[in-house]
């Protein structure tokens, strides 16, 4: 009797476990089959809207997708930089149209999506790329620094995505590409507001991918490590701004550790064509993400060590200085270490103060 009381529940649990394992196995096989037979996306004639397409990675992406036959809409705040980007894209893109838009303004975002659909008749792909790098120690930060980062790199992509989604749903498909960052996977010192915004953006992007998959809308979350886009000249610095600029300028352009923007754009285009959901760019970013996942305590110690022994002494100066202005005063070894950065800057429309 006692034996029967033990055997029956054990049999039920085993049967339920077996059924669950079989269902999970079947689901895994179906997903795998879906991935394997998924047709490659043909970019020819597709309308691609790229935020922050006037310079840096956005411009490299515009060139890459244009070469694959896509019709390109780029947006940014600076009209002159957009015009210059449009000029550089002529001859590569069969169609390129610039739109002035500040992604932190919801009215601008709604107007942008309306204007792109009016002009092209459709949107097939949204690339949420616009971003701003700000390097500053905690001592120099205010709440407004966090709000600004969230406005550009979290609320901007959220508003744009929500604005474009009804259109993609109406067309029963589409693609969203979210350019997040290694800073959205591992929080690093001197970039806390940036990392907060990128972590939130990763969460949004990963959740979107899960929820939109059944509707045929693909979402690719890209986590780049450092790329040579020339944007160290556009980044903003606080605290001991000159020294913060020095370490960041060197790190952002180190050969071997950083990826050329054109290479990153090529990887992103391929990942889109293959229908992938995640992409990490640069080997240091891949290593860091794995170490963080397996040994979170280790990355905390690593970051604390970098903050204490490698980075400049933290200072509370709240004046914001743009990299381009600081770059003017730098000579010698720094210019040697940033040679690749200056080349990238002139190729990717990072403004006049890049010579030398
Ligand atoms: N460079 C790296 O090493 C690296 C690494 C990881 C991730 N990322 C990410 O990659 C993306 C591109 O970076 P990047 O290096 O190419 O930067 P970038 O050269 O400074 O380009 C940023 C672009 O975003 C636009 N933008 C900034 N704020 C905007 C706003 N409020 N509304 C509309 N457009 C805005 C800029 O134009 P306007 O200023 O005229 O608006 C510009 O076109 C960013 O999201 C960045 O976080 C970069």
Q: Is residue 225 part of a domain?
A: yes
State the CATH number of the domain containing residue 262: 3.40.50.720
pTM for the full model?
Answer: 0.94
* Matching residue, tokens 């923007």: 261
| The pLDDT of residue 355 | 45
* Cα 262 to Cα 268: distance, rounded to the nearest angstrom: 10
Cα separation, 136 vs 133, whole angstroms: 10
List per-residue pLDDT tens for the chain, 356 residues long: 566 677 777 777 788 878 878 887 887 777 777 777 777 899 999 999 999 999 999 999 999 999 999 999 999 999 999 999 999 999 999 999 999 999 999 999 999 999 999 999 999 999 999 999 999 999 999 999 999 999 999 999 999 999 999 999 999 999 999 999 999 999 999 999 999 999 999 999 999 999 999 999 999 999 999 999 999 999 999 999 999 999 999 999 999 999 999 999 999 999 999 999 999 999 999 999 999 999 999 999 999 999 999 999 999 999 999 999 999 888 889 999 999 999 999 999 998 744 43
Task: Tell the residue number behind the tokens 């998959």, with chain if given.
Answer: 213
Q: Could you tell me if 109 and 101 are in contact, meaning their C-beta atoms sit under 8 angstroms apart? A: yes
- Which residue in the list 27, 194, 232, 309 is annotated as catalytic? 194
- Backbone dihedral angles phi then psi of residue 98, each to the nearest 5 degrees: -90, 145
The pLDDT assigned to 356 comes to 39
In a domain, 61, yes or no: yes
Question: Best mutation site among 50, 52, 80, 82 for ligand 1, i.e. most ligand atoms within 8 A of its Cβ?
Answer: 52
Q: Domain residues for 74?
A: 40-230+258-287
In the reported structure, the alpha carbon of residue 67 is separated from the centroid of ligand 1 by a whole-number distance in angstroms of 21
194 is catalytic: yes
**pLDDT score for 2:** 62
78 lines ligand 1 (CB under 6 A): yes
Q: How many whole angstroms separate alpha carbon 177 and alpha carbon 170?
A: 19
Strands (E), 7-95: 47-51, 71-76
Q: Is 264:281 a contact under the CB 8 Å cutoff?
A: yes
C-alpha–C-alpha distance, residues 263 and 344, integer Å: 12
Cα–Cα distance for residue pair 60/54, rounded to 1 Å: 9
Ligand 1, pocket-test mutation among 51, 127, 130, 147, most atoms within 8 A of CB: 130
CA Rg value for the chain:
23
The answer to whether position 190 is within a domain reads yes
Q: How many domains in the chain?
A: 1
Q: Is residue 193 part of a domain?
A: yes
Q: Is residue 90 part of a domain?
A: yes
Residue 137: closest CA among 290, 31, 241? 241
Residue of the CA atom closest to atom 21 of ligand 1: 56
233 within ligand 1 shell (Cβ under 6 A): no
Q: For residue 199, is it within any domain?
A: yes
Asked if residue 175 is part of any domain, the answer here is yes
Compute the distance between CA of residue 181 and CA of residue 197 in angstroms, rounded to an integer: 10
Is residue 338, in this structure, part of any structural domain at all?
Answer: no
State the pLDDT at residue 1.
56
Contacts of 179 (CB under 8 A, 6+ apart): 57, 127, 128, 129, 131, 222, 224, 268
Classified as helix, coil or strand, 200 is helix
The Cα–Cα gap between 231 and 133 comes to: 8
Contact predicate 120/73, CB 8 Å? yes
Please tell me what DSSP assigns to residue 42.
P
How many CB atoms lie under 10 A from the CB of residue 114? 12
Ligand 1 atom with minimal separation from the 81 CA: 40
> Hey, what are 72's tokens?
């390109």
Q: Is 221 helix (H, G, I), strand (E, B) or coil?
A: strand
Quick one: DSSP state of residue 222? E
């Amino acid at each position: 009797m006692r034996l029967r009381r033990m055997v029956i529940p054990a049999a039920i649990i085993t049967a339920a476990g077996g059924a669950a394992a079989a269902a999970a196995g079947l689901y895994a096989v179906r997903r795998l089959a879906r991935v394997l037979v998924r047709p490659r996306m043909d970019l020819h004639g597709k309308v691609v809207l790229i935020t922050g397409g006037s310079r840096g990675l956005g411009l490299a992406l515009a060139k890459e997708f244009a070469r694959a036959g896509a019709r390109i809409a780029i947006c940014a705040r600076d009209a002159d930089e957009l015009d210059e980007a449009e000029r550089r894209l002529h001859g590569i893109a069969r169609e390129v149209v610039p739109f002035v838009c500040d992604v932190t303004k919801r009215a601008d975002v709604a107007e942008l999506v309306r204007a792109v659909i009016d002009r092209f008749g459709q949107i097939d792909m949204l690339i949420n790329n616009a971003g701003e790098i700000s390097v500053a120690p905690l001592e120099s930060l205010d709440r407004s620094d966090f709000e600004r980062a969230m406005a550009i790199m979290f609320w901007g992509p959220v508003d744009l995505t929500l604005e474009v989604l009804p259109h993609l749903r109406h067309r029963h498909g589409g693609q969203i590409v979210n350019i997040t960052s290694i800073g959205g996977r591992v929080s690093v010192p001197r970039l806390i507001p940036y990392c907060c915004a990128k972590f939130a953006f990763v969460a949004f992007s990963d959740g979107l991918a899960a929820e939109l998959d059944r509707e045929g809308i693909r979402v690719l979350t890209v986590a780049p490590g450092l790329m040579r886009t020339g944007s160290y000249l556009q980044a903003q610095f606080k605290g001991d701004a000159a020294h913060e600029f020095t370490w960041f300028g060197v790190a952002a352009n180190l050969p071997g550790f950083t990826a050329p923007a054109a290479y990153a754009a090529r990887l992103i285009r391929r990942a889109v064509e293959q229908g992938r959901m995640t992409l990490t760019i640069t080997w240091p970013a891949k290593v860091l993400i794995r170490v963080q996942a397996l040994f979170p305590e280790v990355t905390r110690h690593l970051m604390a060590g970098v903050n204490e022994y490698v980075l400049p002494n933290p200072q509370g100066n709240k004046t914001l200085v743009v990299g381009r202005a600081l770059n003017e005063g730098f000579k010698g070894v720094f210019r040697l270490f940033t040679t690749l950065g200056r080349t990238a800057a002139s190729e990717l429309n990072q403004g006049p103060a890049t010579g030398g």
